[in-house]
Amino acid sequence: MSMTTSMAKLRAVVSGPEDPHQRLLAMSTIVNTIGMGMFLSAGTIFLIRSAGLSPTAAGVGLTVGSLAGFGAGVLIGDLADRRGSKKVLIGSMLIEAAASVSLLLVHSLWPLFLVAAAAAVGRAGTVSARGAMIGVLTEEGKGAQLRTYLRAVTNVGIAAGTIGAAAVLAIDTRAAYVTMILIDTFTFLIAAAILTRLPNFAPTRAPDDGDPTAEQTPRWLALRDRTYLSLTAASSVASLQYFVLIQALPVWIVLRTNAPRWMAAIVLFLGAVIVAATQVPATRSITDSRSAARLLALSGPLFLVAWILMAVSAGPAAWIAITLLLVGIVVHSLAEVWQAAGTFELSFALAKPAYQGQYQGVMGLGHGLAEAVAPIIVISMCVNWGKPGWIVLAVIVAVAGFICALIERGWSRSNPPVETVALAGE
C-alpha cells in the first residue's frame, strides 16, 4: 500500500463519519461539550466565589446531588428503547439546560442538592439515550468507531471550553460567572436543537402498553444479564485509570517529585492531545468483539509500564523526572485509547440490540460508581502508599482488563456469529 493511499485513509478516518446523521450527532456533541468544559473548569469556583458557598458545602452539595443520577440512566435508557432515542436524548438535554440555568438561583446547600440532582438525572439520561442512538446509527461492529470519534470530539469541545473558563476565572466577577452559566445553558439548548434535524428513529422495542403478549422477555433484561453485569463490574474497575491521570498524578508530581510544578499541567495537556489525535485511528483495528477484547487486554501491560515510569519519577533529578513523566504519559495515553476503544465496542456487542439504552444505562451506572469512589482509591494508593501503590493499582487495572477479555470469550462461545450458526445447520 502506498504512502499516499495510507495518508488518504488516515485523513478519511480523522475527518469523521460520512453518514449525515452521525455528523449531526457529532456536531451536537461538540457544542454540548464546550459548555461542559467551561463548567468542569470553573463551576465549583462559581459556587464558591459567586454563589457564596464554602468549599466544603460546594463539594458536598455536588457529590450528594450527583448520587441522584445513579440508576436514572437505566430507567431513561429503557425509555429510549421503548419511545425512541431522539426524543429521550433531547428531553434529557433540556433537563440539563434547566438545571444549568437554575444554578443562578443557588445560594445555599439545599437548593444545590436539588439542582445537582436534576443535572445528574439529565446527564445520566443523555449518556444512556446517546448510547441507544449510537446503536441505531451504526452497523454491527461499528459502534466503537462512532463512539470513540465522539470521545475525540468531546476532548476538543472540553478543551475549547476550558479556554473560556480561564477567561472567566481571570475576570472573577459575578457578571463573568453568570455569563459562563448562561453559555453552558445555551450549549445544551443548541445541541438539542441540532438533534431535531434527525429523523424520528423507530423504537427498538415496542412500548409496553399493558398487553401481556406484547413483550415476551423480562422488562429489565439488562439487570438480569449476568454476563453484562460482570463486564460492567470489570470494566468499571479498569476505568480507574482515567482518574489516576487527572487526580493522582498532579498531586504526585507536586508533592513527590523534583519536577517543576508546571509539569502537572503539561502532562495532562500532552495526554489530552495524544488521546484526541489517536482515538479515532485506534478503532480501525476493531472489527468485532474479539478484536476489541484483544485491545482491552493489551492495554493492561501498557498501564503497568506507564505507571512504573511515573512511580520512579519520585527521587531522581528534575530532568530525569521530567523525562520519565513524559515517556510515561505517552505510554499511558496509548493504553487509554486501547482500553476505551475496546470497552466501547464490548459495551455494544454484548448488549441485546433492542435494549441498547437499558444496557448503556447499566454500564453508565457501574462507571458512575467507579467515578464516585475513584478519588479516595487512586490518591490513597498512588500518593499515600507511594511507589508500591502505583504498581498494585496497575496490576488491578490490568487484571480487570484481562477479565473483560475472558468475559467476551465466554460470551462469544455462547453467541456465535449468524454465519457460523447457519453453516452448522447445513
Q: Give a three-class secondary structure readout of 248-282.
A: HHHHHHHHHCCCCCCHHHHHHHHHHHHHHHHHHHH
Q: Is the dihedral of CA 17, 191, 367, 221 positive or negative?
A: negative
**Measured distance CA(72)–CA(307) in Å, rounded:** 34
Distance (Å, whole) CA 184 – CA 94:
12
Cβ neighbors of 103 (< 8 A, separation 6 or more) are 43, 46, 47, 51, 115, 181
Residue pair 241/339 in contact (Cβ under 8 Å)? The answer is yes
Contacts of 127 (CB under 8 A, 6+ apart): 73, 360, 361, 364
Let me know: does 361 contact 128? Beta carbons within 8 Å: yes
Question: pTM of the prediction?
Answer: 0.71
Task: Give how far the C-alpha of residue 186 lies from the chain's centroid of Cα atoms, to the nearest Å.
Answer: 22
pLDDT of residue 8: 44
> How far apart are the C-alpha atoms of 306 and 286, rounded to whole Å?
23
- Please tell me the predicted confidence (pLDDT) of residue 375: 73
Q: Is the dihedral of CA 384, 389, 394, 397 positive or negative?
A: negative
CA 155 and chain centroid, separation: 10
Give the relative orientation of helices 289-311 and 226-238 as an angle to the nearest 10 degrees.
30
Give every CB contact of residue 418 below 8 A, 6+ residues apart in sequence.
none
* Rounded Cα gap, residues 242 and 230, in angstroms: 20
Residue 59 to residue 65: CA distance in whole angstroms: 10
Closest by alpha carbon to 114, among 68, 75, 72?
68
Closest CA to 143 of 243, 27, 294, 25: 25
pLDDT score, position 68 = 72
Q: What is the model's pLDDT at position 406? A: 95
Low-confidence ranges of the chain (pLDDT < 70): 1-16, 41, 140-144, 206-218, 282-283, 417-426
Helix ranges (H only) for 15-108 are 20-49, 55-66, 72-83, 85-102
351/264 Cα distance (integer angstroms): 39
Q: pLDDT tens across 114-162, in order?
A: 998 899 889 888 988 888 888 788 776 566 677 778 877 887 787 788 7
Distances (CA, A) of 316 to 231, 245, 322, 325: 40, 21, 10, 12
**Residue given cell 454540548 in the structure block:** 32
Grid cell of 241 as nine digits: 485509570
Q: Give the residue among 247, 274, 371, 366 at the shortest CA–CA distance from 329.
A: 274
**Single-letter amino acid, residue 66:** S
Q: How far apart are CA 345 and CA 191, in angstroms?
A: 25
